[in-house]
């Protein structure tokens, strides 16, 4: 095993350990201690991604780094009192970079959504239905949450379209990561606005951490296309 690969594996193990610690702090309601875990997650993924990449000057590389950087900004801002909108905007930008990245992959081939446009309708209906259920709890946040919902739905759509454009393993990593991201944000919205519960908080973190990791692993795999 090459030295770079060993270093990347170490980064992934440290990432997993920090995720587990963060989940423990959530379970024990230790909000202050989470300042030592949650802000570490995206930097660890960036380190692992950087070490694993053989092409570090491409637009695709910088798109993933930018998505992780704005995700880190969202993680930090959402931990601060009264900074929900800035945190939402930071994650919105992260999803836009993921959208651009997915749109750039597999050019010249028809992806899953292009072959089966009904999938786009299914995603749209899910976003509309979920927002409809959430609207009574949003008050002044209806517009920003709607914009965010459309954006993350678009991210999922572009990820799904990598099927048949990229090799199966890469597309599966992207699609699974994107689905988990949408699930994480959906549960987070319920937990924030409608029904707060410890199990929901744990579910948000588990799905979020897994989603980001899978997308990063997909991006590493995509280098070998």
pLDDT at 134 exceeding the cut of 60: yes
Q: Considering the chain, what percentage of its residues have pLDDT values greater than 90?
A: 83
Domain ranges of the chain: 3-222
pLDDT at 197 exceeding the cut of 60: yes
Per DSSP, 58 falls in state S
pLDDT at 26 exceeding the cut of 90: yes
- The HSE-up count of residue 27 (CA atoms within 13 Å, CB side) is 8
Q: Are the C-beta atoms of residues 101 and 60 closer than 8 Å to each other?
A: yes
| pLDDT at residue 161 in the model | 95
pLDDT at 225 exceeding the cut of 60: no
Q: Are the C-beta atoms of residues 193 and 184 closer than 8 Å to each other?
A: no
Which positions ≥6 away from 121 have C-beta within 8 Å?
none
| pLDDT at residue 148 in the model | 96
Cα angle value 46/26/7 (rounded, 5°): 25
Provide the whole-model pTM. 0.93
pLDDT at 54 exceeding the cut of 90: no
Q: How far apart are CA 194 and CA 146, in angstroms?
A: 16
């Amino acid at each position: 095993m090459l030295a770079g690969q060993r270093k990347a594996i170490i980064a992934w193990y440290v990432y997993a350990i920090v995720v587990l610690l963060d989940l423990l702090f959530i379970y024990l309601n230790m909000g202050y201690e989470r300042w030592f875990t949650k802000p570490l997650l995206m930097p660890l993924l960036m380190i692992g991604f950087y070490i694993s990449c053989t092409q570090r000057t491409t637009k695709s590389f910088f798109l993933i780094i930018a998505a992780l950087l704005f995700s880190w900004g969202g993680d930090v801002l959402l931990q601060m009192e009264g900074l929900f909108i800035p945190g939402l905007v930071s994650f919105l930008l992260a999803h836009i970079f993921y959208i651009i990245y997915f749109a750039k992959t597999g050019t010249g081939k028809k992806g899953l959504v292009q072959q089966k446009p009904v999938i786009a309708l299914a995603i749209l209906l899910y976003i509309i239905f979920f927002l409809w259920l959430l609207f009574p709890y949003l008050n002044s946040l209806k517009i920003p949450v709607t914009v965010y919902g459309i954006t993350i739905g678009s991210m999922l759509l572009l990820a799904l379209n990598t099927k048949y454009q990229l090799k199966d393993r890469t597309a599966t990593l992207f699609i699974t990561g994107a689905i988990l991201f949408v699930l994480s944000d959906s549960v987070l919205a319920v937990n924030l606005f409608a029904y707060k519960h410890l199990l929901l908080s744990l579910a948000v973190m588990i799905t979020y951490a897994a989603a980001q990791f899978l997308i990063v692993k997909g991006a590493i795999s995509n280098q070998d296309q």
